[in-house]
Amino acid sequence: MTVTTKECARELLEVVPLIMTDIRSQMRSRRTLDLTVPQFRTLTFVDRNAGSSLSEVADHLGLTPPSMSKLVDDLIKQGMMTREDHPTDRRRIKLIVTRDGLTILEASRNGTLAYLSEKLGGISADEREVISKAMQVMRSVFTVSKRASDVT
């Protein structure tokens, strides 16, 4: 049986949110109590997108620039993030996660990785192989899409 692109897309729309809800729940449950969920999400985004600007993070979190600025100021005061001048545009800044911020993120990721490993322990090696291959395909599809959109 051949799966159409529409059927494949429908599966993605149904399954990916389930997976992400579980992963987000685990990541959030492992954050320190000193961090709010938006602060944790900010650290995660900036860590994955080194040198992000305030507006990029605000867009990702769905916050206004003034709200984002306050949130980032609080993270800077806590020593989780720094703000630096952008090398080519003095009107912009770059956000960088500090070593303390990375320590918190790493602990959360390691705990979530252990959780997912345990959850996947209930399926066969063949099924894990299928998932791994599917993730490689998904990475290539969505990495190419992101690069194409960055060009336009």
Average pLDDT over residues 87-109: 85
Give the pLDDT band (50/70/90) at residue 32.
Answer: low
Residue by residue, DSSP assigns 54-99 as: HHHHHHHHT--HHHHHHHHHHHHHTTSEEEEE-SS-TT-EEEEE-H
Q: What mean pLDDT do residues 10-19 have?
A: 92
Residue written as token pair 């959109």:
149
The pLDDT assigned to 149 comes to: 45
Q: Average pLDDT of 9-16? A: 92
pLDDT for 152: 41
Q: Mean of the pLDDT values across residues 100-115?
A: 87
Report DSSP letters for 88-131, one per residue: S-TT-EEEEE-HHHHHHHHHHHHHHHHHHHHHHTTS-HHHHHHH
Confidence of residue 146 (pLDDT cuts 50, 70, 90): very low
Model's pTM, two decimal places? 0.66
CATH no., domain 5-121: 1.10.10.10
Structure-model confidence comparison of residues 29 and 84, the more confident one: 84
Asked if the model's pLDDT at residue 115 lies above 70, the reply is yes
Q: Per residue in 38-96, pLDDT tens?
A: 888 899 999 999 888 889 999 999 999 999 999 999 999 999 999 887 777 777 788 99
